[in-house]
Amino acid sequence: MNVSFDIPVKLVDKVEILLERVPYLSESILGITYCKDKQVVELILNEIGMNSGQLNELRESYQDLCSSLENTRVIKERVVKSNLIPVNRKQWEFNENKYEYPCFMDEYDITLMEGLDSEFTKIAINHGAVKREYPSVLSKHNMTRNQYHIHFPQNIFGVTSVPHEYEAINNFRNKTQTESYDESFKYNGDILQPCICYHCYEELQGMTLLEGKILTGKGKCFRHEIEWRKDNFRRNEFSMREIVIIGQESMVVDMRNQILENVWGLFESFGLKGRISTATDPFFFSQDLKTKGTYQMMSNAKYELLVTTSNGKEVSIASFNYCQDMLCSKYEIKGRDEVALHSGCVAFGIDRWKEALIDVHGREFNKWNEIDIMRGILL
């Protein structure tokens, strides 16, 4: 079943943001297409279980979303690096074939991932970073500080468990044999980490730092993606490395910008095509954008490295974030003057880099060494 919604005239310059958000209106949406000439968004809906009442609800949610966007100021995108010949972007093409990810990575994938991560780690170490390893779960206390779950509820996965009580354990076991056991799980507020950096802030929470601190860590991260938007690049589970910079404003901004230059160099040396731009929509349903002055800050807050794949899609494979004193205030990390420090982070989606390399070079290289040789030739 298809349904078309008009795009209000006021949202003509915010179409990308609208299209990004529409899939989250309902789980019944199986795909969307954007008809530019008619200025409508067409929704492909699940035939089963969508009655007229639910359709009306969907229409209302859509209108609600549209009016909230009318009042949102959009940060104008600014391209800071590009090696692209202008092409038609096909970000919103609906793919009917359900994507199934391979259930394992083979030696070739693993070698690429290890090689890529060692490049990212080298960049981190060159900037004075020290290595860390953290658990995969963020506690409720940590979430209360970082508020990711408030900004991005659509992305999170909670962790549940069976309570250690005789009754509860038996009850759970019995239910597994007869009916659904979903409600026998208990939730204590743990979230599977969507990124690494909140652990770094937690580590330094409440501290007074006499000089800047740079940490780097890698781990599996988890995001609840929309089923039909999943592909080789967009997954529920992926490996991420982050470099977290905490210090005085100029140190953080300068280092973020230097790392951006290093990463662009690495990207080009791999023969990849793409661009680095400011992100237009750093927060989803964010409260923070309403704060006075935040808008100016946001325009310099987030740069994204977008690779263009062989079929013309753009995929974000790294981000370079500057958070001002927002996170250090929340975690009470201060400088010698007892004022909250500034911070930033650089995040690499290692699986996405790996997919981008395979997209361009195929699976012909047997060893990371050969990519090194290729880089030598390109450089």
CA–CA dist 8, 337 (Å, integer): 50
SS3 215: strand
E strands within the chain? 2-6, 29-35, 40-45, 79-82, 130-132, 137-138, 158-161, 186-192, 213-222, 237-247, 274-278, 302-308, 314-322, 342-349
Q: Which stretch binds Zn ion (CB under 5 A): 34-42, 120-128, 182-190, 193-201?
A: 193-201
Q: Which stretch binds Zn ion (CB under 5 A): 167-175, 257-265, 344-352, 353-361?
A: 344-352
Query: Which one, 58 or 345, has the nearer CB to Zn ion?
Result: 345
CA–CA dist 18, 125 (Å, integer): 40
Structure tokens at 178: 């007869």
Distance of closest approach, residue 347 Cβ to Zn ion, in angstroms: 5
CA–CA dist 68, 3 (Å, integer): 21
String of contacts with Zn ion for each residue 230-259, x by CB under 5 A:
------------------------------
Contact 323, 201 (CB under 8 A): no
Query: Which one, 5 or 198, has the nearer CB to Zn ion?
Result: 198
**Does residue 328 bind Zn ion (CB under 5 A)?**
no
Distance of closest approach, residue 44 Cβ to Zn ion, in angstroms: 34
E strands within 83-212? 130-132, 137-138, 158-161, 186-192
**Does residue 345 bind Zn ion (CB under 5 A)?**
yes
* Ramachandran sector of residue 206 (left: φ over 0; alpha: ψ -120 to 50; beta: rest): left
Distance of closest approach, residue 276 Cβ to Zn ion, in angstroms: 17
Distance of closest approach, residue 115 Cβ to Zn ion, in angstroms: 23
Query: Which one, 45 or 116, has the nearer CB to Zn ion?
Result: 116
Distance of closest approach, residue 246 Cβ to Zn ion, in angstroms: 12
CA–CA dist 36, 32 (Å, integer): 13
Q: Which stretch binds Zn ion (CB under 5 A): 62-70, 184-192, 218-226, 343-351?
A: 343-351
Q: Which stretch binds Zn ion (CB under 5 A): 35-43, 201-209, 278-286, 345-353?
A: 345-353
Which residues lie across from 275 on neighbouring strands? 82, 306
Query: Which one, 11 or 306, has the nearer CB to Zn ion?
Result: 306
Parallel, antiparallel or unpaired: strands 158-161 and 186-192: antiparallel
Distance of closest approach, residue 195 Cβ to Zn ion, in angstroms: 5
Residue number, nearest CB to Zn ion: 197
Q: Segment 197-216, which members bind Zn ion (CB under 5 A)? A: 197
* Ramachandran sector of residue 126 (left: φ over 0; alpha: ψ -120 to 50; beta: rest): alpha
Distance of closest approach, residue 217 Cβ to Zn ion, in angstroms: 10
How wide is the angle at C-alpha 118 spanned by C-alphas 117 and 120, nearest 5°?
Answer: 65
Distance of closest approach, residue 330 Cβ to Zn ion, in angstroms: 13
| Buried b / exposed e along 243-262 (16+ C-beta atoms within 10 A) | bbbbbbeebbbebbeebbeb
Query: Which one, 128 or 312, has the nearer CB to Zn ion?
Result: 128
Q: Which stretch binds Zn ion (CB under 5 A): 8-16, 97-105, 187-195, 304-312?
A: 187-195
Distance of closest approach, residue 189 Cβ to Zn ion, in angstroms: 21
Query: Which one, 228 or 320, has the nearer CB to Zn ion?
Result: 320
Contact 219, 196 (CB under 8 A): yes
Query: Which one, 234 or 256, has the nearer CB to Zn ion?
Result: 256
Q: For the beta carbon of residue 72, count every other beta carbon within 10 angstroms.
A: 15
Query: Which one, 31 or 344, has the nearer CB to Zn ion?
Result: 344
Name the one residue in this structure whose structure tokens are 């080009």.
268
Query: Which one, 138 or 345, has the nearer CB to Zn ion?
Result: 345
Query: Which one, 58 or 197, has the nearer CB to Zn ion?
Result: 197
Distance of closest approach, residue 362 Cβ to Zn ion, in angstroms: 32
**Does residue 138 bind Zn ion (CB under 5 A)?**
no
Contact 348, 241 (CB under 8 A): yes
Q: Which stretch binds Zn ion (CB under 5 A): 24-32, 46-54, 73-81, 340-348?
A: 340-348
What are the residues binding Zn ion (CB under 5 A)? Answer: 195, 197, 345
